[in-house]
Structure 1
Amino acid sequence: MAVIEGWMPPTRENYELILKLWTFYPIIASLQWVISWYGMGKTSVVNSRLNIPGRIAWMTMESPGFLTLLYIMSTLTKEKSITDLPWQNKVLAGLFVIHYSYRAIMYPLMAPSMSPIHIIVWIMGLTFQLVNATSIGSWLAAYGPTTAAAWEAQLSPWSTLQFVVGIAVFYLGLAANYYHDDELREIRRREEQRQARVALENGTPLKAVDKHYQLPEAGLFKYMLYPHYFVEWVEWTGFYMAAGWTCVPARMFVVNEVFAMLPRAVKGKKWYIERFGADQVGRRWAVIPGVV
């Protein structure tokens, strides 16, 4: 039986226990409503010795998620003598890896700069990744549907249609996520280029743009301040649809993401208003058009 330093893939009992504990995450995430610095989207405390450099913290916080899922998919199937998972399991696992290989590796490397991350935020993010990947990986590897007949029942009565539509919604959200992430990066790229021109013209040193902020205007930023949050919820709702409405791990992923990100968006809007003024922010919603 495959193990890594004694770490065995979850038994069904442990998997079910993790799911029960996972249902309490919204309570923990709701603490952000009363924590001023993290609730506003800031991930570090000024001059704290417990801050971790942004790129290092982000990569080590996010990477364990998709690595854990891959490990469980490899080991748990062998333990349960499952020799050939249905293609649906493989597709869903692949989508998870695609999202988080971008989020954990490409995203921090592409970012012009990243703020430090406090160790408490790092621990919370790492815990989220490990628990989420364990619950979804276990379901995909052995504790969800593992035969064609089981998938027919899971997605009945329109199994193929529901799966295809779910995947389409996922990719729509994924593409929108990439687009709006890049718009945020572009703000700092443009400022970096502007400051480089000024420095060259004046013969002065180039200043860092780590703390440069600007109201984005492209895409859904015209209507909301955190569209990258909104489209990520769309993305994982598509995943949930493709996995089937009775898939508890996928449902809890969507619910827990909303509870984790909504306080940051709402408090983030207040921060934008304080920084740029209500007139500049205009009628933009925080994250859900017509709601909040």
Structure 2
Amino acid sequence: MAVIEDWMPPTRENYKFILQLWTFYPLFASLQWVVSWYGMGKTSVANSRFNIPGRIAWMTMESPGFLTLLYIMSTLTRAQGIADLPWQNKVLAGLFVIHYSYRAVMYPLMAPSMSPIHVIVWVLGLSFQLANATCIGSWLAAYGPTTAAAWEAQLAPWSTLQFVVGIAVFYLGLAANYYHDDELREIRRREEQRQARVTLENGTPVQAVDKHYRLPEAGLFQYMLYPHYFVEWVEWAGFYMAAGWGCVPARMFVVNEVFAMLPRAVRGKQWYIQRFGADQVGRRWAVIPGVI
């Protein structure tokens, strides 16, 4: 217990150390451009002995992020002698929890099926969540602005306007994320319904749909193959705006998400072309319209 108390909540020195390591994450994520293997989703191998069932892996990989942030927000303020945090800190922490309570809990529960996740991908995803939540949680709990005056300085010269616009951008990205995630779920829901009709008519057994894919058409899928990635970047760009341009943890979150997800989107477009053909994919971009 003494060891845990010494390590948690993060001291300012530990926070700075983890944040410094976090700034080097893009170098690590860039390895995806030269390593084609990625044991999750479309490219997962169903029969690997190192797989974890999709829903279990996803929930245990993503949930520690918002749980860590809540723990730090609860303990670090007391450790630093902060009686009460400004409302901005609480709002931003709430946005983080809203996103990840959906992403970590509701998303896998609503999915008709989920492909298995390799244990290496699970470890990498868990590490991302813990590092990110530690940096953002520590900044919000004690090591960023903790007074009204500090927030005025953080967001100067238009503090209220910047915060409000940032929150609006966040919610725009969040709503678009929900929408495009549901479009992907709808593909498998329709396949399940189709198989159920065939089973009723012919008596054939229903098959798993975790590897059933079609080209989605609704919303931004008309223009790009991974709009759910793009709008999540928009979402966290809004969070960064609301936290202030000097918030290094929020800035690194946006940067690290782009470096982590962009190679997967580019390779994913290649996968779609191989599976459905260039004519079917058409002029869709991978993830950023007009760029890539």
TM over 0.5: yes
Letter in 1 for 2:31: L
Q: Partner of 1:210 in structure 2? A: 210
CA shift for structure 1 position 6: 5.9
Distance 1:257 1:37, change over 3 A: same
CA shift for structure 1 position 116: 0.5
CA shift for structure 1 position 26: 0.6
Residues 39, 45 of structure 2: 8 Å contact kept = no
Long gaps (5+) in structure 1 = none
Letter in 1 for 2:78: K
Q: Partner of 2:29 in structure 1? A: 29
Letter in 2 for 1:123: V
Query: Pairwise mapping of residues 139-150 of structure 1 onto structure 2 (< 5 A)?
Result: 139-150=139-150
**Secondary structure, counterpart of 2:37 in structure 1:** helix
CA shift for structure 1 position 3: 9.0
Query: Pairwise mapping of residues 10-159 of structure 1 onto structure 2 (< 5 A)?
Result: 10-38=10-38, 42=42, 44-159=44-159
Residue 232 in structure 1 maps to residue 235 in structure 2: no
Long gaps (5+) in structure 2 = none
Q: After superposition, what is the alpha-carbon deviation per residue over 1:108-165, rounded to whole angstroms, capped at 9, x for unaligned? A: 0000000110010000000000000000000000000000000000000000000000
The farther-off stretch of 6-15 and 261-270 is: 6-15
Letter in 1 for 2:66: F
Whole-angstrom distance in 2 between the partners of 1:32 and 1:243: 30
Q: After superposition, what is the alpha-carbon deviation per residue over 1:31-71, rounded to whole angstroms, capped at 9, x for unaligned? A: 11122231995463342111111000000000000000000
Residues 25, 256 of structure 1: 8 Å contact kept = yes
Q: Partner of 1:271 in structure 2? A: 271
Q: Partner of 1:169 in structure 2? A: 169
Whole-angstrom distance in 1 between the partners of 2:132 and 2:222: 32
Residue 199 in structure 1 maps to residue 199 in structure 2: yes
CA shift for structure 1 position 211: 1.2
Q: Identical aligned pairs, as a percentage? A: 89
Residues 59, 108 of structure 1: 8 Å contact kept = yes
TM-score by length of 1: 0.97
**Secondary structure, counterpart of 2:214 in structure 1:** coil
Q: After superposition, what is the alpha-carbon deviation per residue over 1:246-285, rounded to whole angstroms, capped at 9, x for unaligned? A: 0000000000000000000000000000100011000000
Aligned length: 292
Residues 41, 117 of structure 2: 8 Å contact kept = no
Distance 1:203 1:43, change over 3 A: closer
RMSD over aligned Cα atoms: 1.7
